[in-house]
Structure 1
Amino acid sequence: MIGRRQLLATGGALGLSAIPRLGRARSPTRVVVVGAGIIGASVAYHLQSYGAAVTILEKSQPASGTSRNSFAWLNAFSKTPQSYYMLNLMGILDWHRLQQEIGPKLEIQWGGGIAWHGTAPGEIQKMRATLARLQEWGYPIGEIGRADLLGLLPGVDPGPFGAAWRSSIDGTFDPVATTHTLVDAATTKGAVLRTGVSVTGFDIQDGRIAGVKTTQGLVAADAVVLAMGNDAPPIAAMADIKLPLKRSRGVLAHTAPMPQIFSRVVMPPDCDIKQNPDGRIVTGSNFGDSGDLAPSPEVGQRFLDRLHQYFPKMPKPKLDYMTLGYRVLPVDGHPVVGRASAFGNVHVASMHSGMTMAPVIGRLLAIEVLDNVETPFLADYRPGRFA
């Protein structure tokens, strides 16, 4: 269970990183963040905001891996246990904080989320049990009827209707644009971004990692954060860290830009739909593993035909491109965050739902790295559970 102090800390999440860090050592702590996806970008931004001297190492370009191929539904819907739910809820709150800090460049659509189900009794019972749990935990979500659905989504043809829900707190964004915005905010504060750089090992001195060996030479470090998504396990192994991930594919279709149609995340029984600020609609087959489904034009057209089936009055969407992403999914389905290995100054950050949790993971991990503390919010998700 989450205690009163933790709830107060959650409520106070907004505005925390704008407060200067007092009592820092005379010279900034040199922190190397490996990876410039959404998690690495957030970690780097918060570390630099809190007084560290950050170097970001990225083998390609920011948001070129899993982040590029994410749907980016900001939510805490199916997150259990409660500690995992809380991290996702705090992530949503911290996105609002980051909008206050960074300003209009950080564009997030806070239209909420809507989903509906067919008439299968088992699905309806499962939905209502989930809603009851979320309401008990304080999530602003509730069941709605068919008339409500038709009013909220003009022109929708839901097909056989059993039940639906609406959440007012959910959001979404363009994951590539958002990652670049965070990286830019970090470099504006003084962080250094080095692209086209691969990690080849670590410089170990006196039982600690003193630097990161790369294809472009050694980068000195007082601390290292590995936020490399699916590329992390072999690099983590060089620091005696076990980071087991499992395979989970996600295929998405992206349309050419269209006039604004969707202001919220929409989830019919067999697909998911959103529209980015640039007008592109993104749709896929719910949020599970896509298996061996190919990101082909034929699959994309199938996705768009299904979209048009639910919204027959909208202009016929045109496929622009497909993406295939591999979720960063630890074997037990939960985040792996915090100090790892016998070296003491290496931290990891690997997780699914990174889009939702990125700001809170960045904030908490920055505090842990610089203040040498362990926050209870991450207690259930330490790397040591795989040792």
Structure 2
Amino acid sequence: MTDERNIIVIGGGIIGASIAWHLVTAGAKVRLIAEKTGGVATPTSFAWINASWGNPEPYYRLRTRSMAEWTRLAAEVPGVNLAWSGGLCWDLPRDELLTYVREHARWGYDVRQISAEEAASIEPAIRDLPDLALHVRDEGSAEPVAATLALIESARAKGLEVLEGVTVAGLRATSGKITAVRTADGILAADAVVVASGVNTPVLAATLGIEVPIEAPPGLIVHSKPAPKMLNGLVIAPELHVRQTHEGRIIAGSDFGGSDPGGDPEGTARDLFAKLRTFLKGGEKLEMDFHTLGYRPTPKDGYPILGSADGVDGLYLAVTHSGVTLAPAIGRFATQEILTGEPEPLLAPYRLSRFA
């Protein structure tokens, strides 16, 4: 397929990179505008790839489809390294854990109850394990910045033009059709624009009179210095979500979105790291390296906003808190919708129009 339209993708994080890669791979002419390649929210992500508890079935279906798309993408793009390491979970009350395992197992998720003894065989470095935990074999993680940069570099080799260090000030439309992106350096003509700029999405959409209702709660994650292997997979425990990165760092937040930093982020980071050290056998040897503080672009009902914006032809919005899990599916489906006009049924519940 060859598409002669001039398409601009705004946003250098995992969502923008995935959309740009899929568009270029499909034969489109694309420019990616990024204040910073690698993104702003992406580097602060816990990067858990999952379809875990708390999701209605339509959202579960989108998430599991995207988990499958991650496997495809990793096979096609060098440097998109995944760890399908499995997840150990007990961060809900017992009755909710049992509801979660029954419901998701019925939907086809590979989740099962395990005893403390089996949990200890999976994660022997954890000090205190509960009598009841759940294990999901097929959950995993990505190193989000590395994956984002790998997508961008692969797309460059296919013809993507990257404008880095460019600040987008607004969008322009004429007679209900997108015509240009206004940057600090000048005007860039466009036949189609994808806004995947996280917490800045409402600001840009507002320049066309479009309201995008999102919140941006902060999340703090601590990172240890690289350490010998301690964890085999993801650990989703009450008030402590933990994993070990490809380079050996132990990272943790009070949930997968990170800890509430309160009024003293440095103090919150120290307290959280102290909890991490007592959580793991040998944890007293861990040394804290740094913490990240990110602002999660979260639509007000908690679910993604994906698709064309009513009233402005050529404008496509892509904003979600679950950026790492959903990036491959969003890239694939956004490309389908932009280039062919064929709507993707899995995205039907997530249009901006639901907030009208």
Could you state the TM-score of these two structures normalised by the residue count of structure 2? 0.95
CA distances 1:158-193 after superposition (whole Å, capped 9, x unpaired): 25x241010011111221111111111111211111
Q: Aligned partner of 1:214: which letter?
A: T
Indicate the residue corresponding to 1:265 in structure 2.
234
Change (3 A) 1:256 1:147: same
CA distances 1:265-288 after superposition (whole Å, capped 9, x unpaired): 112222011111111111111236
Matched, 1:302 2:271: yes
Q: Which residue of the other structure, out of 132, 135, 138, is the alignment partner of 1:163? A: 132
Residue 197 of structure 1 deviates from its aligned partner by 1.2
Q: Aligned partner of 1:204: which letter?
A: A
Number of corresponding residues: 356
Indicate the residue corresponding to 2:148 in structure 1.
179
Matched, 1:90 2:65: yes
Q: Aligned partner of 1:215: which letter?
A: A
Matched, 1:224 2:193: yes
Change (3 A) 1:269 1:280: same
Aligned ranges for residues 1-387 of structure 1 at < 5 Å? 21=1, 24-25=2-3, 28-58=4-34, 60-103=35-78, 105-116=79-90, 123-158=93-128, 161-287=130-256, 290-293=259-262, 296-314=265-283, 316-387=285-356
- For structure 1, which segment, 130-139 or 191-200, has the greater mean C-alpha deviation from structure 2 after superposition? 191-200
Residue 203 of structure 1 deviates from its aligned partner by 3.4
Residue 111 of structure 1 deviates from its aligned partner by 0.3
Residue 63 of structure 1 deviates from its aligned partner by 2.4
Residue 124 of structure 1 deviates from its aligned partner by 0.4
Cα distance in structure 2, aligned partners of 1:308 and 1:202: 48
Query: Matched residues, percent identical?
Result: 33
3-state SS, counterpart of residue 29 of structure 1: strand
Q: Is the 8 A contact 2:15 2:323 kept in 1?
A: yes
CA distances 1:86-107 after superposition (whole Å, capped 9, x unpaired): 111111111100011113x111
Q: Aligned partner of 2:120: which letter?
A: L
Q: Is the 8 A contact 1:56 1:194 kept in 2?
A: yes
Q: CA RMSD in A?
A: 1.7
- For structure 1, which segment, 324-333 or 297-306, has the greater mean C-alpha deviation from structure 2 after superposition? 297-306
Cα distance in structure 2, aligned partners of 1:137 and 1:83: 11
3-state SS, counterpart of residue 101 of structure 2: helix
Cα distance in structure 1, aligned partners of 2:160 and 2:110: 37
Q: Aligned partner of 2:128: which letter?
A: P
List gaps (5 residues or longer) in structure 2. none
Q: Is the 8 A contact 1:79 1:85 kept in 2?
A: no
Could you state the TM-score of these two structures normalised by the residue count of structure 1? 0.88
- For structure 1, which segment, 327-336 or 289-298, has the greater mean C-alpha deviation from structure 2 after superposition? 289-298
Q: Is the 8 A contact 1:255 1:321 kept in 2?
A: yes
Cα distance in structure 2, aligned partners of 1:348 and 1:209: 13
Indicate the residue corresponding to 1:3 in structure 2.
none
Q: Is the 8 A contact 2:253 2:259 kept in 1?
A: no
3-state SS, counterpart of residue 90 of structure 2: strand
3-state SS, counterpart of residue 218 of structure 1: strand
Indicate the residue corresponding to 1:10 in structure 2.
none
List gaps (5 residues or longer) in structure 1. 1-20
Q: Aligned partner of 2:47: which letter?
A: A
- For structure 1, which segment, 61-70 or 126-135, has the greater mean C-alpha deviation from structure 2 after superposition? 61-70
